[in-house]
Amino acid sequence: MPRPCKNRFVSGQPGSVVYKPAGIPARILEWVYLAMDEFETIRLLDHEGLDQEKAAQLMGISRPTVTRIYASARKKIAEALTEGKAISIEGGPVESGRIIPPQRGGPMGRGGRGRHRGGRGQQ
């Protein structure tokens, strides 16, 4: 039995939740569903320009999970663009509106490489 999915924190909301090719009625289009956590990774990595480590921290998940979510989102967006499908952004394992403040210090210290950087006892 797979492990339950951990909620992801999203702070940005899409300006619109549906994108579709122009001139084609929505009722005849195929749809691609982008979860809110997939939208959030696209927003943080591509729009905000953050690295995956920072995005993971803000979303409250691990960096490998961000990588996996990001790959899934890009694949879905590429499918929609190349095959003329509509995109709907909805749902997913998320908690909206919560922003996690940047962490200072923590178990890895301020520099992210343990207590002593470079072997000189600096912090």
103 phi/psi in degrees, rounded to 5: -90, 140
pTM of the model: 0.70
Residue 93 is predicted with a pLDDT of 61
What is the SS3 assignment for 122? strand
| Per-residue model confidence (pLDDT) at position 123 | 40
State residue 12's pLDDT score.
67
What would the mean pLDDT of 100-105 be, rounded to a whole number?
39
Q: Locate 103 and state its tokens.
A: 């962490």
- Which residue ranges make up each domain of the chain? 8-96
- Give the residue among 105, 115, 112 at the shortest CA–CA distance from 51: 112
Mean pLDDT, range 2-13, rounded to an integer? 70
Kindly provide the residue ranges of all beta strands, DSSP E only, lying in 1-123, ordered along the sequence: 8-10, 18-19, 31-34, 86-89, 94-96
Cβ atoms of 12 and 89 closer than 8 Å = no
Share of residues in the chain with pLDDT > 70 (%)? 69
Lowest mean pLDDT across 10-24, 57-71, 103-117: 103-117
What average pLDDT score do residues 54-74 get?
Answer: 94
CATH (residue range 8-96):
1.10.10
For residue 114, what pLDDT is reported? 39
- Does residue 76 have a pLDDT over 80? yes
Collapsing DSSP to helix, strand or coil, 94 comes out as strand
